[in-house]
Amino acid sequence: MQIDFEVNLDDYLSLNQHLLKTSPLMKAGIRKGRAWWAAGPFVGVTLLAIINKMPFEKAIIIVGIVIAVCSLPAFFLFPLYFKMQNRKFIKKTCESEKSKGVLGRHVITITNDHFNEKTEYNDTSIPWKGIDRIETTPDYTFIFTNEVTAYVVPRKSLAAENYSNFTQEIHKIYNKNHG
């Protein structure tokens, strides 16, 4: 079976949004970032208070102010910051010379033995054992080669019947090779 479709920046950003919601690796990154951003000002001010031999009462007030003004907002705002930085990184990556072929026209061919993807710049053939997993959302099929890297197949780029046939076939072959 073969499909021919276009992938644009919004499609690739949708993969990123999907990963932010579903990937344990991305969720762990957000948790760690929140902890560092929240703890950083608290630890810094506490150390400064100790180094400057600040009276305990004054140190508690200052640390409390830092927690209220810096640490708590940082804790709650970090996921938004992480998503914005991630989006910026994805855009920059897609525009890079090294990422030619990520956006644009794609032709995917699936056989019982291999998954093949062709673009103007790449021709990649992967045995089914090299496909980590396949996830289908209402708008996309993501064919993952590792935890966070996937081929993106947008539903809107294919006729409804072609998309449906493709998703059924790819899941069937994947399950046969990983079952």
Cβ-based burial of 106 (10 A; exposed 0-12, middle 13-18, buried ≥19): buried
pLDDT at 101 over 90: no
Which helix (H) or strand (E) segment is 172 a member of?
helix 160-178
Q: How confident is the model at residue 60 (pLDDT cuts 50, 70, 90)?
A: confident
Q: How confident is the model at residue 85 (pLDDT cuts 50, 70, 90)?
A: very high
* pLDDT score for 94: 84
pLDDT at 82 over 90: yes
Residue 155 · residue 164 · CB < 8 Å: no
Question: Mean pLDDT score of the chain, rounded to an integer?
Answer: 92
Average pLDDT value for residue range 55-64: 87
Query: CA distances (Å), 41 to each of 27, 32, 73, 74, 84, in order?
Result: 23, 15, 11, 9, 22
pLDDT at 57 over 90: no
Average pLDDT value for residue range 35-44: 88
HSE (CB half, 13 Å, CA atoms) of 35? Answer: 6
Q: What percent of the chain has pLDDT over 70?
A: 100
Q: What is the C-alpha end-to-end distance of the chain, expressed in Å?
A: 21
Q: What percent of the chain has pLDDT over 90?
A: 67
Cβ-based burial of 11 (10 A; exposed 0-12, middle 13-18, buried ≥19): buried
Q: Identify the residue whose tokens are 């539903």.
A: 155
